[in-house]
Every structure is written in C-alpha cells, then in structure tokens.
C-alpha cells in the first residue's frame, strides 16, 4: 500500500533551483511564498470563529488554555500562551503547555518524542482536564501521535478540543471537536513546515487568543487595559493609555492610577466617570470585568 504524500511534504517545483539563486531572488521568493499563509488563515476564519464561540464560556468560568504540540508547532503554541500573561494578565496557572519531549524540546530537538502516543495521553491526563478547559492541539502534518493522543485524552475527559493542522483529512483534525485546517500546501523547502505552515499557525493562534481576550473583557477601545505594569515601559504605557482615553495630562492620569491602586481598569472608571474606587470596583464586578459594560 502506498502512503499518500501530505501536501506539506510535497515539492514546489517553482523552487527546484533555489540553491542556485542569488540572495535577492531567494529572499523575494520566500517572502512571496508566505502570502499563502495569510490566505490559508483567511479560509479558516469560520472554523476559528466557531472554536472561539465554543471556548469563551468555559474560559469565562475559570477554565485553562492547554496547548499541545511538537517541534515548531509546539513552540508556537507555548509562545502564544506565555505572552497572554504580560499582555492581558491572563493567570499563569491557567496556561499549560504540553511539548513532546518535555521542556528540553523547546531549545533542541528530542528525536522520537512526537511519535510517543502513550506519553501524549499520559501528559494530558496528568493535567486533569475539565469541561471548562480548552485544549489546542497543533501539528502541521496533522499526523503527530503525541498530539493526537493528547487530544483524544482531553476529549474523553470532557474538555473542549481544538485541532490545528495544515493537511486535510488527517487524524488530528478528526480527533478534535473543532478542526481548523490551514491549507498552506507545499513549502519552498520541501517539508520545512517552520516556513509558511509555521507562519499560518502563528497567525491563527494570534487571532484565536487575542479575540478570546477581547471577548473576555481584557481590552477596551483597542487598549491593553488589563496588562501587568511590571516594568518602567509598561508603567509609562499605563499612564499613556489613561491620558489617551481621558484626554488629560500626565498628572491627572497619575492621580487616577494612584487612587485605583495601580489597577488600570479601575483608574479608567475613576477618571472617565468621576466615581470613587469603591464605586468603580462595584461597577466593574457587576459588568464581569468589562469596562465598556461598566460605563454603560
């Protein structure tokens, strides 16, 4: 029986002589090839939207985001999750990354780790997934045993499962409750899915997690109103956000922040609506943490 060649493993004849091209042509060719990543994500917007709608309720109740992957896909998932805390103050304990090969695989390849389905299931079971958790399995090929087994285990436990792959009709897409196909096709360097397949996954993850954070009230008027101001740059950004929203000077923004105990959402209500801290807290709690609702 002949094993079918996955689209991501096929050869793009347009790049057959890339090793004989001058630098300028290589760069231009690779850049032009990346456009297919955007096209692939655009085609997947309906499935991304459905996955977001399904994920929002559980996350609003306190569920976790659990990313599962191997190699490039795993690293992209981990990066997406890690960045949610400084940008949106998403609790660190509510982000889990399961990488084939463990933590050492973030910096170097761990041969054979992605083929270990029993390890994928065991690692997932060890996280004790719940019905409020959202599990995102990433594999460009769509055939990675570690990821498929982890998604199967999460689904059996009742978690919401989302599968992201770059090849149609693959086991990973069949395993998840929500399948997101990013059909990027052949790579400029055959089989090197760190290229446009990786770009498509990065874009899709950005759209997925950022939209969720917006829906969960962590953004107001295009501003990161729930970021953690943990350094000088971010503290200055907090002041600029208040100055921009309140059309006020630095001193007035600083006073609002001080009254709010450095809580940016509370400071916005204090500054824009003229309420005290207790009233701002009451309004924000009643609005589920959403500034726009708290102001209406």
Q: Which of 117, 73, 133, 81 is nearest to 99 (CA)?
A: 73
Which one of the listed residues 9, 24, 56, 83 is annotated catalytic?
A: 83
Round to whole Å and give the CA distance between 135 and 68.
7
- Whether 114 is a known active-site residue: answer yes
Round to whole Å and give the CA distance between 37 and 185.
9
- Whether 13 is a known active-site residue: answer no
Which one of the listed residues 13, 56, 111, 114 is annotated catalytic?
A: 114
Assess contact for 225 and 100: CB atoms under 8 A.
Answer: no
How far from chain centre, in Å, is Cα 284? 26
Dihedral sign for Cα 204, 205, 211, 215, please: positive
Round to whole Å and give the CA distance between 31 and 45.
23
φ, ψ at 97 (rounded to 5°)? -120, 125
Round to whole Å and give the CA distance between 82 and 13.
38
* Enzyme catalytic residues: 83, 114
């Amino acid at each position: 029986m002949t094993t079918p060649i996955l689209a991501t493993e096929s050869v793009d004849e347009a790049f057959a002589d890339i090793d004989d091209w001058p630098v300028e042509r290589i760069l231009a060719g690779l850049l032009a090839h990346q456009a297919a990543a955007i096209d692939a994500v655009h085609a997947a917007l309906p499935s991304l939207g459905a996955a977001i709608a399904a994920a929002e309720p559980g996350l609003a109740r306190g569920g976790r985001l659990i990313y599962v992957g191997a190699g490039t896909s795993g690293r992209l998932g981990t990066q997406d999750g890690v960045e949610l805390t400084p940008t949106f103050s998403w609790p660190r304990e509510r982000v889990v990354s399961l990488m084939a090969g463990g933590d050492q695989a973030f910096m170097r390849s761990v041969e054979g780790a992605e083929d270990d389905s029993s390890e994928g299931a065991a690692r997932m079971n060890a996280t004790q997934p719940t019905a409020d958790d959202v599990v995102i399995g990433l594999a460009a090929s769509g055939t990675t045993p570690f990821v498929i087994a982890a998604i199967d285990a999460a689904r059996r436990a009742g978690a919401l499962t989302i599968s992201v792959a770059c090849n149609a009709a693959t086991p990973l897409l069949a395993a998840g409750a929500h399948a997101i196909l990013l059909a990027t096709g052949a790579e400029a360097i055959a089989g090197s899915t760190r290229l446009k397949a990786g770009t498509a996954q990065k874009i899709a993850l950005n759209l997925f997690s950022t939209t969720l954070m917006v829906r969960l009230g962590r953004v107001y008027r295009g501003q990161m109103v729930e970021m953690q101001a943990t350094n000088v740059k971010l503290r200055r950004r907090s002041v600029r956000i208040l100055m921009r929203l309140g059309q006020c000077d630095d001193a007035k923004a600083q006073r609002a922040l001080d009254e709010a105990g450095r809580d940016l959402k509370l400071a916005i209500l204090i500054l824009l609506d003229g309420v005290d801290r207790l009233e701002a807290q009451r309004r924000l709690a009643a609005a589920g943490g959403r500034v726009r609702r708290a102001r209406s």
